[in-house]
Structure 1
Amino acid sequence: MDNLKVAKEKMIIDNRSLVVVKNGQIVFESSKKGIVPMYDLYNEGLTGKIYISDRFIGGGAAKFILNFEASTVEVFTNIISKGALNLLESKGIKVEYKKIVDKILNRTGDDFCPVEKISMENDDFNVFYNKLRDFLLQTKQI
């Protein structure tokens, strides 16, 4: 069974923002917006080899993917930033995408996405995670 295909089809058919498959079974899915599904997935503490289908992947999502306790094997996304693609591929993660963009923008399209800003300003994952958590709490997303 093609794990990535299962994740991709579930995301598309059921209009999910994030789907994770392990051993042919869906082990995580979310319809929440933004980075919150990746944040939630990180806090699940999954182990083993996983396959991820996510609507958008920027620097923040890439940092989560590289820091999961589980080992991410393949990723599908509709839209990925060049920086995120380069980072994931440099770590040996196979990435399939529909569109590549220079940067992930905010909802009004006039600046970087706030999560991208947090990601760019914080190379250390633990610092990034804590700043992101504070942002998500402040904006009442978690």
Structure 2
Amino acid sequence: MDELIRLLNEGNYSCVVRQGEETRTFSRRGVADLYDLYATDRAFLKGAWLADKVIGKGAAALMVLGGVSRVWTRVVSTPALALLRKGGVEVAYAEEVPCIINRTRTGRCPLETLCDVSDNPVELYPVIEDFVRRMREAGEKEKTISEK
């Protein structure tokens, strides 16, 4: 795990995942990379070790669904920590916080707020899927507007 943490910090990545001898690094904010990995290559997550900067409840649900075995994070929310532990994931962290704060620091993370509806990762997946879809649609609209 020390190697993953070093890579996370030195590479300024948002997430690093190791499955066997293969290590993959990710840089997008939020749950986008983890969501895409779960959606396209679930087998890579099964039994994987993962180092992440921040883990909220949505990311925790994806990790449990993917079968991640071990996680280290700088910051984990209390709901995410409970979900990971309940899902049998070994967790280590630098700081536990009551909730993840949004990027503008004006309130809670919108995905973590949406995930208040359940503590069951299977029930949370459609919530996460819808959130990612809406964020991507909003990003495409923003991109189109800025190109005009």
- Is the TM value for this pair above 0.5? yes
Matches within 5 A, 1:13-28: 13-26=10-23, 28=24
- Deviations, residues 60-111 of structure 1 (Å, cap 9, x unaligned): 101111111xx21110101000111111112221111111100001112221
Larger Rg computed on CA atoms: 2
Q: 1:29 aligns with which of 25, 28, 31?
A: 25
User: Mind listing any 5+ residue stretches in structure 2 that lack a counterpart?
Assistant: 141-148
Paired position in structure 2 for 1:130: 129
User: Mind listing any 5+ residue stretches in structure 1 that lack a counterpart?
Assistant: none
Q: Give me the whole-angstrom Cα distance separating, in 1, the residues matched to 2:25 and 2:113.
A: 26
* TM-superposed deviation, 1:21: 0.4
Contact 2:62 2:125 in 1 (8 A): no
Distance 1:127 1:44, change over 3 A: closer
- Deviations, residues 90-135 of structure 1 (Å, cap 9, x unaligned): 2221111111100001112221111112222365134213322322
Paired position in structure 2 for 1:49: 47
Show structure 1 runs of 4+ deviating over 4 A. none
Q: Give me the whole-angstrom Cα distance separating, in 2, the residues matched to 1:125 and 1:95.
A: 20
Larger deviation: 33-42 or 93-102?
33-42
Structure with the higher fraction of residues in helix conformation: 2
Q: Does 1:119 align with 2:118?
A: no
Paired position in structure 1 for 2:145: none
Q: TM-score with structure 1 length normalisation?
A: 0.85
Structure with the higher fraction of residues in strand conformation: 1
Paired position in structure 2 for 1:39: 35
